[in-house]
Amino acid sequence: TGLLVAVIALLAGPADVRDTYGAAILALPLLVVLLQPPVVNRLLGFVLRLLGRPPLEHPLSATGVARASAWALLAWLLAGLHTWLLATALGAETTLATAALATGAYALAWTVGFLVVVVPAGVGVREAVLGLVLADQLSGGAVVVAVLASRVLMTMADVTLGVAAAKRRR
C-alpha cells in the first residue's frame, strides 16, 4: 500500500514532480494486482517456503486485505500530514499539491527503508529518499531539518505508543 500511495500521491503533486516521476503511473496496475488476495497468498507461500517456515494457517481474504489496506491508507495520510506540516513550516507552499507530495514522499521513503533490510528501521535510507523527493520544494538546510525532525517525531511516537500499549497490556 505504501508504494501505491506513493505513486498516486507523487503524480498528484506539483507539476515538476509529475514531469519527473510521470512514468511511475505504469506501476499502478502491478501494485493493484499485488494487493489481490490470490496473488498475496501465493507470494507469501513462496517466501515462507523459501525461508523454511510453515505455511499460513488461513489464507488472506479480500475483506482482510481491504481492511488492512484501509488502515494502512489512514496511516499514510497521517504520516503525510506530519511531513506536510514540517515542510510548510520550513518554507514549502501550503497547497494540496504539496500535501500530496509530502504524503507520497513519506510513503515512498518508508517503503524503501523497509525493503532495505540491511539497516535497522531503514535508518539513512528513509531519510535519503525523503530528502530527495522534498529537495525541489525546500532549501538544502530546510530539507535536512525536515528529514531529521520527521525521524525524531516518528521515533517519539513509536516509543510513546509502545509504552502505552505495554502499560495497557498489564
Look up the pTM and report it: 0.83
Whole-number pLDDT of residue 23: 74
The pLDDT, as a whole number, for residue 59 is: 94
pLDDT in the model for residue 15? 83
Render the burial of 93-122: b for 16+ CB within 10 Å, e for the rest.
eeeebbbbbbbbbbbbbbbbbeeeeeeeeb
Angle at CA 4, nearest 5°, toward 124 and 102? 55
pLDDT over threshold 90, residue 157: yes
**Going along the chain, which residue ranges are E strands?**
none
From CA 94, how far away is CA 21, in angstroms rounded?
A: 21
Phi, psi of 95 (to 5 degrees): -130, 165
pLDDT digits (tens, 9 = 90+) for 15-61: 887 777 777 777 778 888 888 999 999 999 999 999 999 999 999 99
Residue with the three cell numbers 502505552: 164
